[in-house]
Amino acid sequence: MPSRLSPHTSARNSGWASCSALAGAALLALTGCVGGTSSAPTAATANTNPLAYYQLQGNTDYIHDPTIIRQGTNYYVLSTDGGQGGNLPIYCSPDKINWTRCGQVFSSPPPEVLAVFPTLTSLWAPDVSYFNGLYHVYYAASGFGGNKSLLGLATSPTMNPTDPNYHWTDQGIVLSSTTASNFNAIDPNILVDTDSSGNLTHVWLTYGSFWNGIDQQEINPVTGMLLNPATPAVNIASRVSNSTNNPIEGASLVKHDGYYYLFASFGACCNSVFTTDTYQIAVGRGTSPQGPFLDMSGTSMLNGGGTILLSTSGEFTAPGGEMVYIDPVGGDTITYHALSDNQNGLDYLFVNALTWPNDWPVITTAP
């Protein structure tokens, strides 16, 4: 089988924390390791495990760090590049089950990205959102093991590739980090915040990986760029002692029923031996988009907290790179990737329903 995709680990270390793979089709959330020694609280269990069997059809492999959005009756997933051709490939589905490849954002990396990374062939970790009459795709460009990175932006008036108005416009670089920075400019995520009447109030850009953890800055809703570039970022999540054995990345911030929920990927991703990956999905919640985000035991995600939602189980290893999509029409959804043990760690797309019993999220198998 094809070898696995390895898109975006920001720091490598032989001392990765390891978690025991716990089996059992009745488990939804499994107790995972935090820092290799301590454990995090786990969310409520459900009747089935999303990783116990695979239910999607069509083009669903080689998909890493997916993001999802609905336009009309169709759903669109974008992914990190890797084996599919094109930069930031796009997949389409009428039902979140059957997926076909339907395009890409770029045919090659934009010139301003190549000016920073002349040999770059792959863009990472896109995030798709809609505001100011346009679909916005933020993406990352970087190299393995370092924090010389950047976040770029492309926009289109529609996601539908058959619409005559369909066209992705390169909007340039939003922010960047260097080897002298204390953060890593990858894994972008947008929250379009609204008031009780549904009017836009703020657009929040959440990003980061390893180093100081997860940062946040505000976006100008008209330009899609930073609202106040000189304003320092707000750090909203990190791991204990900022150790490379406690990585955090892949954040997704959403608002539901008066709370803000910060989802993140804990653990090791993209090791050369995929069975040593310890990726797992965690969450905390708060009453402000800038936190603090507390787990179910009351520990802040700035102090090592995070309620584990999903960990390795059965055939599939290291779920992560998640994005949560609040959809009042089609139902709230979480999309992520996981690695098939039966196919040498091949990256697969997962699209699952997200429910909120007692105002805490639970992943269920049905999309």
How many structural domains are present in the chain? 1
From the candidates 61, 81, 249, 277, give the one annotated as an active-site residue. 249
Residue 314 placed within a domain:
no
Q: How many residues does the chain have?
A: 367
Structural domain of residue 177, as residue ranges? 52-249+328-364
Residue 193 located in a structural domain = yes
pLDDT of the residue at 76 = 98
Greater pLDDT, 327 or 146: 327
| Identified catalytic residue from 65, 187, 215, 322 | 65
Question: In the β-sheet with 149-156, what is the strand arrangement from edge to edge?
Answer: 124-131, 134-141, 149-156, 169-177
Cβ neighbours for 262, distance < 8 A, ≥ 6 positions apart: 206, 214, 236, 237, 251, 252, 253, 283, 284, 285, 286, 291, 293, 301
The identity of residue 259, as a single letter, is Y
Q: Give the ranges where 193-262 is alpha helix by DSSP (H).
A: none
Name the band, by pLDDT with cuts 50, 70 and 90, for residue 313: confident
Rounded Cα–Cα distance for residues 364 and 93 (Å): 19
Question: Which region among 121-130, 137-146, 148-157, 291-300 has the lowest average model confidence (pLDDT)?
Answer: 137-146
Kind plus residue range of the DSSP H or E element containing 160: none
Catalytic-residue membership of 65: yes
Q: What is the pLDDT of residue 365?
A: 84
Residues forming a β-bridge with 280: 266
Tell whether 104 is covered by a domain. Answer: yes
What is the reported pLDDT for 276?
86
What is residue 43's predicted lDDT score, i.e. its pLDDT? 55
The pLDDT assigned to 52 comes to 84
Tokens for 90? 């796009």
Q: Does the residue 101 lie in any domain? A: yes
Q: What's the pLDDT tens digit per position in 223-246?
A: 999 999 999 999 999 976 544 446
User: Is residue 170 in a domain?
Assistant: yes
What is the rounded CA–CA span in Å between residue 117 and residue 109? 10
- Which residues have a Cβ under 8 Å from the Cβ of 143 and sit 6 or more positions away? 117, 120, 149
Contact call for residues 179 and 148 (beta carbons, < 8 A)? yes
Residue 302 has pLDDT above 50, yes or no: yes
Cα 272 from Cα 316, distance rounded (Å): 17
List the CATH number of the domain containing 236: 2.115.10.20
Calculate mean pLDDT across residues 194-208. Answer: 95
Tell whether 262 is covered by a domain.
no
Identity of residue 75: Y
Is residue 243 in some structural domain?
Answer: yes
Over 60: is that where the pLDDT of 351 sits? Answer: yes
pLDDT digit string, tens, across residues 66-115: 999 999 999 999 999 876 667 999 999 999 999 999 999 999 999 999 99
| Distance, CA of 171 to CA of 137 (rounded, Å) | 10
Is 77 within 8 Å of 352 (Cβ atoms)?
Answer: no
182 or 38, higher pLDDT: 182
**Interval 175-187 mean pLDDT:** 95
Q: Which range is least confidently modeled, 48-57, 70-79, 106-115, 176-185?
A: 48-57
What percent of the chain is predicted at pLDDT more than 90?
70
- Per-residue pLDDT at 272: 86
Domain annotation covers residue 221: yes
* pLDDT, mean over the chain: 85
User: Residue type for 178, please?
Assistant: T
**Residue 284 near residue 300 (C-beta atoms within 8 A):** yes
